[in-house]
Amino acid sequence: MRRRIQAINSEDAPSAEKARRMHELLLEGYRASQVANRRKPTPPMEEEALGHQLGPSTSPGPLESLKSWYNHATDQPSMADKFILSDSDIAPTFAPIRPRKGSDVELQGQGSTTPLESQAPLGCQHYERNVKLQCFTCKKWYTCRFCHDAAEDHSLVRRETRNMLCMLCGTPQKASDMCINCGEVSAHYYCNICKLWENRK
């Protein structure tokens, strides 16, 4: 084989042609073994040797579990149907308007604010965010854990939070950085581990 490769290399031919011919040379042995394997007759297997009867397989195929999941998922009610929401749950809450860094609070009080600055952002007195979170313990919706803890007799553990409610469109859903319905971000900052949303920079 070495002599044949050297002979191809010494020819006066383009590099691409030399490469193609060397590739063919290297594949000769493989192709010959494939042809030889096809010619060998396979011995008939007896049912006793196999230990079972030949026939169609009764074991589920690789996609059967996926079909089962799909059918199960389509038979279930939508996520919105699983949540019991009151009007106060769906109603958005707003954070107080905070003066921008370096701005003069007195000037804002004299009517020099722009319309965008005068609109209160979604959130509460503790955080600016576009979502409410559902307490894992009582299943009630609050804008933050501090608001929850002030109203309830137990504490909201943020890390146990599983669901959020988008205050832009009113859709309850699994906690994440973006709403599955309206596509808006839940906050500029989101931590999936500690379930913290924050719009303030």
> Lowest-pLDDT range, 72-76, 125-129, 180-184?
72-76
Element containing residue 22 per DSSP (H, E): helix 15-39
Query: What is the signed CA dihedral for 48, 49, 54, 58, rounded to 10 degrees?
Result: 100
Q: pTM to 2 decimals?
A: 0.53
Does residue 99 surpass a pLDDT of 80? no
Rounded Cα gap, residues 149 and 156, in angstroms: 6
**Proportion of the chain above pLDDT 70, given as a percent:** 68
pLDDT for 81-92, tens place per residue? 578 888 989 999
pLDDT confidence tier of residue 80, bands split at 50, 70 and 90: very low
